[in-house]
Chains A and B, each alone.
Chain A
Amino acid sequence: MSTTTAKNAKNARYGMVIDLDRCNGCGACMVACAVENNVPPAQAKATARTGITWMRVENVANGASFPEHRTAFIPIMCQQCGEETPCVSVCPQQAVEVDPKTGIVDQMPQRCLGCRYCMAACPYHARYFNWWDPEWPAGMEKALNPEVAPRMRGVVEKCNFCHGRYHAAKAKAAAAGRRDIDPADYQPACVEACPTRAIVFGDLDDRSSQAAQLAKSPDAFRLLPKLGTEPKIYYLTRRPWVREIASASSPAEVRRG
Chain B
Amino acid sequence: MNFGRRTLLQFAGGSAAGALFTPIPWRLLWDSAVWTQNWSWIPKLPRGEVTEKFSTCTLCPAACPVKARCVGNQPVSLTGVAATAESNGALCPVGLAGHHLPYHPKRAVLPFRRRSVNGKVAVSPLSADEAAAAIAERLNALPAGQSTVILDERPGRVTSRIYQTLAAKLPRGEYVTSPQTEGGTLAKLESLTGTPAAMNMAGADLVVSFGTPLLDGWGTPGRVFAARDRFRLIQVEPLLSRTAAAADLWIPVYPGTEAALALGLLNLLTGAASGWTPEKVQSVSGVPAESVARIAAELKAAKAALVIADGDPGGGAFSPDEQSLFAALNLAVDSAVHPCGVPRVTRPIEALPDASIGVLLCDAASSGAGTPWRVIARKLAPAAMVVSLSPFLEGYGRHAELIVPAPAYLESLQEVPTAPDAPAAGFALAPPLIPARPGATEPAEFIARLAGEPVTLSVELKKHVEALHATGKGEVVRYAGGEVTPVKDFKTSDELWNALNQGACWRQGLPAGMYASKPSARLLQAAVQSAERRLAAGGQTDPARPLMLITTAWRATAGNAQVSPLLTKLYQESELREPGNSAAIHPDTSQKLNLKHGGQAILTTACGSCPVAIVVDAGVMPGVVSAVIGPTVDSIGAAPRNGGSTIGDICAPDGDAPWRVTSAQLRRA
Contact = CB atoms under 8 A, between A and B. Distances in A.
Interface of A: 24-28, 30-32, 34-36, 38-39, 41-42, 44, 46-48, 51-53, 56-57, 59, 61, 64-67, 69-73, 110-111, 133-134, 136-146, 149-152, 189, 192-193, 195-197, 256-257
B96 A51 contact: no
Contacts of B77: 35-36, 145, 189
A87 B79 CA distance: 32
* Interface of A: prevailing SS: loop
B93 A28 contact: yes
Given A31-B566, A41-B565, A145 B76 contact: yes
Contacts of B638: 44
A62 to B, nearest CB: 9
A183 to B, nearest CB: 15
Contacts of A30: 93, 569-570, 574, 576
Contacts of B240: 66, 69-71
Nearest to B621: A66
Which of B45, B569, B570, B586 counts the most chain A CB atoms within 10 A? B569
B568 A150 contact: no
A218 B177 CA distance: 52
Given A48-B573, A72-B245, 11 more contacts: A25-B576, A31-B567, A34-B566, A41-B564, A41-B566, A53-B573, A59-B576, A111-B33, A137-B105, A140-B565, A189-B77
Nearest to A75: B576
Given A35-B566, A143-B75, A57 B574 contact: yes
17 contacts: A24-B245, A27-B574, A28-B96, A31-B96, A31-B567, A41-B566, A48-B573, A66-B240, A66-B252, A140-B565, A146-B46, A146-B50, A152-B37, A189-B77, A195-B90, A196-B225, A196-B228
A1 B401 CA distance: 57
Interface in B594-637: 597, 615-622, 634, 636-637
B44 A141 contact: yes
Contacts of B617: 256
B75 A27 contact: no
Interface in B550-597: 564-570, 572-577, 586-587, 597
Interface stretch (B134-142, B213-221, B528-536): B213-221
B288 to A, nearest CB: 10
Interface residues of B, number: 76
B30 to A, nearest CB: 9
Nearest to B70: A143
Contacts of A25: 242, 576
A52 B617 CA distance: 25
A38 B97 CA distance: 12
A200 B41 CA distance: 37
Given A35-B77, A35-B566, A195-B80, A66 B217 contact: no
Contacts of A38: 45
A66 B618 contact: yes
B157 to A, nearest CB: 25
Contacts of B568: 41-42, 46, 51
B329 to A, nearest CB: 23
A26 B93 contact: yes
B254 to A, nearest CB: 12
Nearest to B616: A256
A67 B50 CA distance: 52
Contacts of B616: 256
B114 interface: no
A150 B39 CA distance: 9
B2 to A, nearest CB: 45
Nearest to A48: B575
Contact of B93 (A27, A136, A137, A150): A27
A34 B586 CA distance: 33
A144 B103 contact: no
B215 A24 contact: yes
A41 B570 CA distance: 10
Nearest to A150: B42
Nearest to B597: A256
B548 to A, nearest CB: 14
A142 B46 contact: yes
B618 A64 contact: yes
Contact of B103 (A36, A69, A111, A138): A138
B103 to A, nearest CB: 4
Contacts of A42: 565, 568-569, 572-573
B423 interface: no
B43 A141 contact: yes
A140 B100 contact: yes
Nearest to B42: A150
B84 to A, nearest CB: 14
B35 to A, nearest CB: 10
Contacts of B75: 143
Interface in B292-308: none
A34 to B, nearest CB: 5
A6 B353 CA distance: 75
Nearest to A68: B618
B96 A41 contact: no
A30 B577 CA distance: 12
Nearest to B74: A142
B556 to A, nearest CB: 12
Contacts of B565: 41-42, 136-137, 140
Contacts of A138: 103, 105
Contacts of A41: 564-566, 568-569, 636-637
Contacts of B215: 24
Contacts of B619: 61, 66, 69, 71
A255 to B, nearest CB: 9
Interface in B65-108: 71, 74-80, 89-93, 96-97, 99-100, 102-105
Contacts of B252: 66-67
A151 B42 CA distance: 8
B76 A144 contact: yes
A27 B577 contact: yes
B45 A149 contact: yes
Interface in B197-220: 215-217
B97 A35 contact: yes
Contacts of A56: 574, 576
Contact of A152 (B42, B103, B217, B250): B42
Contacts of A110: 33-34, 37
A47 B42 contact: no
B455 to A, nearest CB: 30
B225 A144 contact: no
A34 B250 CA distance: 33
B468 interface: no
Nearest to A21: B246
Contact of A144 (B43, B89, B250): B43
A113 to B, nearest CB: 10
Given A64-B618, A66-B621, A146-B47, A51 B572 contact: yes
B358 interface: no
